[in-house]
């Protein structure tokens, strides 16, 4: 299906190519595609914030489409934005990688941006969040605050580096801690996530890390009702309850998008994979709950400072 669609639009581009404006290397108009909504208060909202910041900074027209998931819809959206003069297009998620990489060469006057996926075409850039370190310090916090000696992670997929980091961090803080890990196999299956949380709670976990942007809010809301603790994910989720959310592992995708836009506008952007960690400000730890003692917070701050200098996470001797 995707091959046939790409061939169709390649022909359309060849027929219309003579009337196109040559690529100038700076922002003209910006587009963003969302697989779901911009109103989820987490991933989608962060991406939309980045788009609005780019609009404000460069005084350019911006466009967005929500619920763009199928191959056909993605290609149609690309063509629509191309006709509008968009030359910087963000696909807000890894689900856009396959299509963007395939059609990139057919749109040489556009730069395509994806996240957490491999950039293969010359005019495709991918934003990667180095999640292990943020997960590590989130795990440390969870283990430090656990009273039952059991903490849990509800992740979307096994490949998420923050999950491995969380486990390592929890074990670093407390070698005897039990870490219960479960997976939803989907970013936004809130029904399954809440059920997995209930199971973890019944098994004794009193601090849970819901590492999925589409279900962390309902899970944290349930954790709050139960009087237990959570580690927030993607955004600083202290606003969901400062006595519930101990801290958050924050991915400022809006900042990453702004960095890409700035480089593109200056003509210095190099396509390919771009990685962001705690030392960039794109990834950071969120607000700590007042329940987390100051001595521990200061210890975390020192460890993060050392990590930013050395690139190495602490280990138990």
SS3 of 8-68: HHHHHHHHHHHHCCCCCCCCCEEEEECCCCCCCCCHHHHHHHHHHHHHHHHCCEEEEECCC
Report CA-CA distances (Å) from 128 to 10, 242, 295.
29, 29, 32
Q: Are 303 and 236 part of one and the same domain?
A: yes
Instruction: Tell me if 316 is assigned to some domain.
Output: no
CB distance 156 to 196 below 8 Å: no
Q: Are 96 and 207 part of one and the same domain?
A: no
- The pLDDT value recorded for residue 135 is 98
Q: Are 208 and 264 part of one and the same domain?
A: no
Number of domains in the chain: 2
Q: How far apart (Å, rounded) are the C-alpha atoms in residues 197 and 292?
A: 22
Nearest to 143 by CA among 229, 67, 59, 226: 229
* Cβ neighbours of residue 144 closer than 8 Å, sequence gap 6 or more: 173, 174, 292, 296
Q: Are 297 and 198 part of one and the same domain?
A: yes
Can you give the residue range of the structural domain that contains 18?
Answer: 2-129+253-280
Reduced to 3 states (helix: H, G, I; strand: E, B; else coil), residue 266 is: helix
* Ranges of the chain whose pLDDT falls below 70: 1-25
Q: Are 262 and 200 part of one and the same domain?
A: no
- The pLDDT value recorded for residue 290 is 98
CB distance 2 to 98 below 8 Å: yes
Residue given tokens 């690309």 in the structure block: 78
Q: How far apart (Å, rounded) are the C-alpha atoms in residues 134 and 251?
A: 9
Q: Are 177 and 270 part of one and the same domain?
A: no
- The pLDDT value recorded for residue 71 is 97
- The pLDDT value recorded for residue 2 is 43
Whole-model pTM? Answer: 0.86
Q: Are 186 and 306 part of one and the same domain?
A: yes
The residue length of the chain stands at: 317
- The pLDDT value recorded for residue 6 is 42
Q: Are 180 and 303 part of one and the same domain?
A: yes
- The pLDDT value recorded for residue 82 is 98
Q: Are 116 and 177 part of one and the same domain?
A: no
Q: What is the signed CA dihedral for 229, 235, 240, 245, rounded to 10 degrees? A: 20
CATH number at residue 152: 3.40.50.2300
CB distance 165 to 132 below 8 Å: yes
Nearest to 233 by CA among 207, 256, 251: 251
Q: Are 37 and 177 part of one and the same domain?
A: no
Q: Are 171 and 297 part of one and the same domain?
A: yes
- The pLDDT value recorded for residue 25 is 52
Instruction: Tell me if 315 is assigned to some domain.
Output: no
Q: How far apart (Å, rounded) are the C-alpha atoms in residues 309 and 307?
A: 5
């Amino acid at each position: 299906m995707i091959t046939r669609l790409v061939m169709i639009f390649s022909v359309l581009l060849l027929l219309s190519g003579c009337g196109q404006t040559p690529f100038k290397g700076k922002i003209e108009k910006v587009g963003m595609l969302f697989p779901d909504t911009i109103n989820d208060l987490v991933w989608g909202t962060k991406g939309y914030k980045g788009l609005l910041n780019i609009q404000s900074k460069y005084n350019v027209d911006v466009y967005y489409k929500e619920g763009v998931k199928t191959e056909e819809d993605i290609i149609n959206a690309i063509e629509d934005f191309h006709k509008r003069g968009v030359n910087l297009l963000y696909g807000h998620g890894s689900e856009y990688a396959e299509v963007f990489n395939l059609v990139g060469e057919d749109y040489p006057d556009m730069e395509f941006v994806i996240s957490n996926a491999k950039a293969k075409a010359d005019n495709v850039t991918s934003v990667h969040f180095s999640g292990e370190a943020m997960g590590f310090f989130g795990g440390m916090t969870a283990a430090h605050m656990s009273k039952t000696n059991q903490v849990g992670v509800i992740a979307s997929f096994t490949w998420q580096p923050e999950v491995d980091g969380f486990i390592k961090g929890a074990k670093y803080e407390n070698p005897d801690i039990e870490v219960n890990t479960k997976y939803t196999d989907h970013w936004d299956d809130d029904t399954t996530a809440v059920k997995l949380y209930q199971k973890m709670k019944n098994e004794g976990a009193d601090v849970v890390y819901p590492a999925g942007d589409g279900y962390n809010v309902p899970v944290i809301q349930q954790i709050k009702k139960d009087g237990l603790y959570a580690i927030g994910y993607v955004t600083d989720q202290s606003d969901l309850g400062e006595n519930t959310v101990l801290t958050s592992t924050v991915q400022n995708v809006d900042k990453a998008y702004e960095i890409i836009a700035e480089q593109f506008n200056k003509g210095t952007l190099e396509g390919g994979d771009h990685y962001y960690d705690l030392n960039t400000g794109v990834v950071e730890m969120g607000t700590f709950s007042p329940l987390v003692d100051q001595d521990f917070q200061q210890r975390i701050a020192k460890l993060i400072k050392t990590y930013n200098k050395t690139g190495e996470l602490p280990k138990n001797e």
